[in-house]
Amino acid sequence: MNAKGKNTKSSWVDPDDAPELTDDFFANAKHFIGEREVSVEEFRIAAKKALRGRPPGSGKKQSTTVRFDTDVLTAFKATGRGWQTRMNDALRDWLKERHP
């Protein structure tokens, strides 16, 4: 069978054939969070919470570059997620002992 034959069905669909999306269509729409159907209000609240980008910081931390011995860094990283927070806490405890 030749793809250019007269009997070949066209797969192209005219985008102008799509139905118009009216206010009534949106008023009757179902809202989902994942696979769970939710109310319009719950959907709007979830949409506001799901902001894009990095979440705002606390403003209490400062970025810096510090060099640590490999064994110290490896030991903290081996404790899993949150190792930077634990390292920060360890330094804070050390400061409390030295400068009460």
Residue-wise pLDDT for 8-24, tens only, equals 777 777 878 888 889 99
**Which residue segment(s) compose the domain that 70 sits in?**
63-100
Q: Do residues 72 and 40 both lie within one domain?
A: no
* 57 in any annotated domain: no
- The answer as to whether 3 is a domain residue is no
- The answer to whether residue 40 is domain-embedded is yes
pLDDT on residue 72 = 96
Residue 72 in any domain: the answer is yes
Residue 70 has pLDDT above 90, yes or no: yes
Q: Give domain status of residue 37, yes or no.
A: yes
SS3 per residue for the chain = CCCCCCCCCCCCCCHHHCCCCCHHHHHCCCEEECCEEECHHHHHHHHHHCCCCCCCCCCCCCCCCCCCCHHHHHHHHCCCCCHHHHHHHHHHHHHHHHCC
pLDDT digits (tens, 9 = 90+) for 16-56: 888 888 999 888 999 998 899 999 899 988 888 877 777 77
Number of structural domains found in the chain: 2
Asked if residue 96 belongs to a domain, the reply is yes
Q: Is the pTM above the cut of 0.85? A: no
